[in-house]
């Protein structure tokens, strides 16, 4: 009778083992995926997300100047008008409409931002 129970439990022991896992390969793959997530997040933040995806066609930042650690003065293009804004961590204040609009710089593609336009000169 004891041998009968041993024979019944034998297939369960074989099935319970499962596939063999190579822990070194698993760890390297997991670290590569986590690193890729962090690199993509950094790129999106660095390129301000919207610039990478095309941004808004109705609202554009023409110029920006940091005047403190978290304070900025920005010129924003809204349609055909340009507005001067004061931006802090707590609020955004409209400082006025520009009578003489600033010239818009030609927008560069993502590829142009990542690679230099002029080749490096030999020293």
Ordered per-residue pLDDT tens for the chain, 123 residues: 667 666 666 665 555 666 788 889 999 999 999 999 999 998 888 776 555 555 656 788 888 889 989 899 999 888 888 899 999 989 988 899 888 878 776 555 455 555 555 554 444
- Does some domain include residue 111? no
Encoded tokens for 99: 């009578």
The DSSP letter of residue 55 is -
Residue 65 lies in domain: 56-100
- Domain total in the chain: 2
Pick from 117, 4, 118, 109: nearest CA to 51:
109
d(CA 64, CA 42): 21
- pTM of this structure: 0.42
Instruction: Give the SS3 label for residue 63.
Output: strand
Do 73 and 65 meet the contact criterion of CB atoms below 8 Å apart? yes
Same domain, 95 and 60: yes
Q: Is residue 96 part of a domain?
A: yes
């Amino acid at each position: 009778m004891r041998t009968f129970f041993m024979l019944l439990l034998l297939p369960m022991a074989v099935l319970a083992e499962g596939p063999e896992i190579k822990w070194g390969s698993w760890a390297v793959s997991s670290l590569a995926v986590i690193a890729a997530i962090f690199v993509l997040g950094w790129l999106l933040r660095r390129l301000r997300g919207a610039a990478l995806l095309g941004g808004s066609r109705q609202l554009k930042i023409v110029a920006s100047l940091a005047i403190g650690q978290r304070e900025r003065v920005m010129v924003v293009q809204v349609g055909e008008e340009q507005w001067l804004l004061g931006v802090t961590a707590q609020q955004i204040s409209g400082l006025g409409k520009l009578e003489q609009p600033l010239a818009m710089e030609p927008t560069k593609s993502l590829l142009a931002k990542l690679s230099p336009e002029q080749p490096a000169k030999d020293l």
